Amino acid sequence: MRNTFINTITELAEMDERIVLLTADLGYKIFDNFAKKFPNRFYNVGIAEANMVGVAAGLASFGMRPYVYSIVPFATLRCCEQIRDDVAYNNLNVKIVGVGGGYAYGFNGPTHHGIEDISVMRSIPNLNVLCPGDSLETENIIISSWLGHAPTYIRLGRGGEPKVHKSLSKGILKRVNESEDFEDLIIFSCGGILSIVDSVNALLRKKDIKSTVVSVPYVKPLYGSLIADMCRQTKNVVTVEEQTIVGGFGGAVAECLMEDRIFVGFKRFGIRDMFIHTAGDQEYLRNLAGLSVELLYKNILEFLKNNE
């Protein structure tokens, strides 16, 4: 995902000389190509995220299209007020790119875990939140956000996420397999956990459960009517995100279902309201948080059984 972002942005920068890339001293070597091609449009502003976002706001107010880049918690929470006041309030065309959503930087410890960024960014007025699920979605998201003018937060994985989509559906909601019927269950997935959700879905379908996976990269604005239309055709809905369940993507779907009076079996899967203090890589920590293939499969089966 990370490499897709950089390749896409380098291609876009060739066409659009307004694109400026700012990094807060992260992304060792990966920007070398960009920096060589566009030396006056790449800045390592140092480990100063608040300043980076402010500078990006200034650039945007002068007609540039800045992309700022850092690890998820530093790109969002460290400079949260700058994002709200400088970027969102002034409605400036700044794209904030967070890399390593969820437990992607697992071994680095909870300071580096991006587990509440969607909830926080979602609550900022004017700010769009996009969470692509694999590299195909990333490319699509980067290009479509470049076409728009809205201040946007883009949450990426760390890199090396498996490709899930064979080809990308044209709609807003990215279904992995358009031909699947989904009378029993729809699994809405958000962000880099898509590959795991896809494996869970394969296991469920082997059990003759009519389920499908829908990846939702547009967390805000959430295209609620599209989600509602799908949910009217099923009995159960679950959401999966590698983020706290407090006010996150699952909450957004729940809000939309309740307000549209769609009463289906519903459960959010995500990180419970906790920090994980144990050291571990992404796979290990996902397992602890109940977001591995086995645990998700087990818990979804249990949920379906209780809802019968």
Residue among 105, 149, 150, 157 nearest 132 (CA): 157
Q: Does 41 bind other proteins (CB under 8 A)?
A: yes
Q: Does 48 bind other proteins (CB under 8 A)?
A: yes
Near other proteins by CB under 8 A: residue from 1, 2, 5, 66:
66
Any idea which residue has 């926080």 for tokens?
Answer: 120
* Nearest residue (CB) to other proteins, 60 versus 130: 60
Host H or E run for residue 146:
helix 135-147
Residue among 203, 262, 269, 189 nearest 228 (CA): 262
Q: Which stretch binds other proteins (CB under 8 A): 56-64, 223-231, 232-240, 277-285?
A: 56-64
Q: Does 40 bind other proteins (CB under 8 A)?
A: yes
Q: Report the interhelical angle of 249-259 vs 224-231 (nearest 10°).
A: 70
Near other proteins by CB under 8 A: residue from 45, 130, 252, 271:
45
> Contacts with other proteins in 115-144 (CB under 8 A)?
none
Degrees, nearest 5: CA angle 171-234-308: 150
Q: Which stretch binds other proteins (CB under 8 A): 43-51, 146-154, 173-181, 275-283?
A: 43-51
Q: Does 97 bind other proteins (CB under 8 A)?
A: no
The Cα 159–Cα 184 span in angstroms is: 33
Supply the minimum distance, in Å, between the C-beta of residue 101 and other proteins. 25
Q: Does 60 bind other proteins (CB under 8 A)?
A: yes
Q: Does 68 bind other proteins (CB under 8 A)?
A: no
Supply the minimum distance, in Å, between the C-beta of residue 5 and other proteins. 22
> Contacts with other proteins in 169-198 (CB under 8 A)?
none
Q: Does 248 bind other proteins (CB under 8 A)?
A: no
Strand-by-strand arrangement of the 265-271 sheet? 174-175, 211-215, 185-190, 236-244, 265-271
Residue among 266, 271, 244, 246 nearest 254 (CA): 266
- E-assigned strands of 10-159? 19-23, 42-44, 65-71, 95-99, 128-130, 152-155
Supply the minimum distance, in Å, between the C-beta of residue 81 and other proteins. 6
Near other proteins by CB under 8 A: residue from 15, 63, 179, 306:
63
Q: Does 23 bind other proteins (CB under 8 A)?
A: no
Supply the minimum distance, in Å, between the C-beta of residue 247 and other proteins. 23
Q: Does 57 bind other proteins (CB under 8 A)?
A: yes
How long, in residues, is the chain? 308
Supply the minimum distance, in Å, between the C-beta of residue 289 and other proteins. 33
Q: Residue 308's CB: how many other CB atoms inside 10 A?
A: 7
Q: Does 255 bind other proteins (CB under 8 A)?
A: no
Q: Does 95 bind other proteins (CB under 8 A)?
A: no
Near other proteins by CB under 8 A: residue from 54, 102, 106, 270:
54
Residues near 199 by Cβ (< 8 Å), separated by ≥ 6? Answer: 293
Are 207 and 181 within 8 A, CB to CB?
Answer: no
Question: What is the binding site for other proteins (CB under 8 A)?
Answer: 20, 40-41, 43, 45-46, 48, 50-51, 53-64, 66, 81-82, 85-86, 89-91
